[in-house]
Amino acid sequence: MYKQQIWDQVRAQAVVTPAIYGAVDFDAVPERFAGAAGDPNELRTVGEAERAQLLADERLMTLIRAYTFMGDRVVDPYAALMPEYGFKRLIEMLDQACRHGIDSVAGAPPELRGFIAAMETVPDWLDMAMVEEGARVERAAMAIMSPIAIRAAFIATFMNRYAALPMALTGTLSNESAARRVKETATFFATSVLPGALARGGEGFRAAAMVRLMHSMVRFNAMRKGRWDVSVYGIPIPQVDQMPAGLIGVTMMAADVMRQGRSEFTAQERARVELSRYRCYLLGLPEALLATTPKEIVTLMAASLATLRSGFDDETCGNLLRATLGAYLPPDKSLPSRLFDRVEKGFSKVFFVKNYAGGDKAKAASMGVVPDALDKLCYGIAAAVAGSRMLAYKLAMNIPMLSAAVDRRLVAIIERQLAAWGHAHFATDAAAYRPSASSAPH
């Protein structure tokens, strides 16, 4: 029954949004899905025996394979109105509906009404007070670590060619466009931890809606005019590919909890989980992918990585990597900004080698990343300064007489950083898409 229900939802996409899914063979297994023993995959933390246990879990594999074919059933129909309205008008109507309510949009199409209604639907499990506490707990890390780590974190999203191709197609291969995407990603996550941001009417709520529409527009554009090979890549930006961006932080926390021999989260850890779950809910992730216990969270992420076929190619991943590492992120070319850019780039290069190349310098070099002595010095300085600031804020947040003032300070830091990053457009224009040989059938 479970298998039937989930696949009925997947196949219904072809009926609801035929412009995107009408020609998709949902019974075929795309090349990207590594479902057999010995298949090269992205799960690097366990051996083949542990991976075999994941592959043998029929319910888990049904979930992962189905959501490899699942886009956004709510927003895709709205994005498919682009030929009629144009992408700019769709963005304008959504922005107005988020800011002033759906009834303020004259002639709002039913697809937009369904989109807003779905986002306004409060899930039964939501405890908004806990979400706000999770945001409060995460503000220090966002204020202090985000400016130096956002580039490095963004790189993780295109280390696999099957998951990275949508980014390449949308033209994120120049330093300028890569800088814009990094800032948009940083803007969304930073906005989401501000007080009240994820409540209806909050800026985080609106940003989540904009991100969802951008993803659906990418699907619509990529699936038209032969830009996409479903037999190789599945569908563009499936739900399983959105899990890492939204849940990697709590997954790492859950893994640490399990290493400590615990099976439950503390109150603060639980609040962080609820923040991530609701943020992902607003982004369209189904509840089935939003686990609550440490073991469930780690297992779901492991299953998604265990079934994603390994693949780093220079044309897609390498070009994205180099464009992102070369992007200039500060708002101006003043001396302090240029110094920060140098330190942050050095941090990102060394972070890449340690975390994405497993410390293998030769592997990193083959991808075009070769940190020099200055990069290593920058990494050490940035890590030491950020670490000491984090410790100081953590200690101060636990002192009742200081915690409120410290929190206000962190909010102010985040707001200044958002201003420096500039306005996020969360838009994708098909006219800017680049043809990619990687997207051609083969």
> pLDDT tens per residue, the chain (442 residues)?
678 899 999 999 999 999 999 999 999 999 999 999 999 999 987 888 999 999 999 999 999 999 999 999 999 999 999 999 999 999 999 999 999 999 999 999 999 999 999 999 999 999 999 999 999 999 999 999 888 888 888 887 778 888 888 877 776 556 677 788 888 888 999 999 999 999 999 999 999 999 999 999 999 998 886 678 999 999 999 999 999 888 989 999 999 999 999 999 999 999 999 999 999 999 999 999 999 999 999 999 999 999 999 988 888 888 888 888 888 989 899 999 999 999 999 999 998 888 777 788 888 888 888 899 999 999 999 999 999 999 999 899 889 899 999 999 999 999 999 998 876 665 554 444 454 444 443 3
| Of 217, 181, 178, 194, residue with least CA distance to 91 | 217
User: What is the per-residue DSSP string for 130-197?
Assistant: HHHHHHHHHHHHHHHTHHHHHHHHHHGGGSSHHHHHHHHHTTTTSHHHHHHHHHHHHHHHHHHTSTTT
Q: What is the per-residue pLDDT for 233?
A: 92
**pLDDT given at position 207:** 93
Residue 425 pLDDT:
60
Of 438, 435, 432, nearest to 217 (Cα)? 432
| Per-residue pLDDT, 439 | 40
Token code pair at residue 385: 């300064």
Provide the pLDDT for residue 438.
Answer: 42
**pTM, full prediction:** 0.89
Please give the DSSP secondary-structure letter assigned to residue 202. Answer: S
Q: Report the chain's terminal Cα–Cα distance, integer Å.
A: 36
Cα 33-210-239 angle, rounded to 5 deg: 15
pLDDT at 426: 58
Residue-range domain boundaries for the chain: 122-427
Q: Cα dist. 399→8, 195, 231, 388, 411 in Å? A: 53, 20, 56, 17, 18
Residue 441: predicted pLDDT = 37
Question: Residue 108: is it exposed, middle or buried by C-beta count within 10 angstroms (0-12/13-18/19+)?
Answer: middle
Give residues with Cβ within 8 angstroms of 172, minimum separation 6.
Answer: 178, 181, 320, 323
**Chain centroid, CA 232 distance in Å:** 22
The predicted pLDDT at position 226 comes to 67
Contact (Cβ atoms closer than 8 angstroms) between residue 135 and residue 276: no
CB 90 within 8 A of CB 213: yes
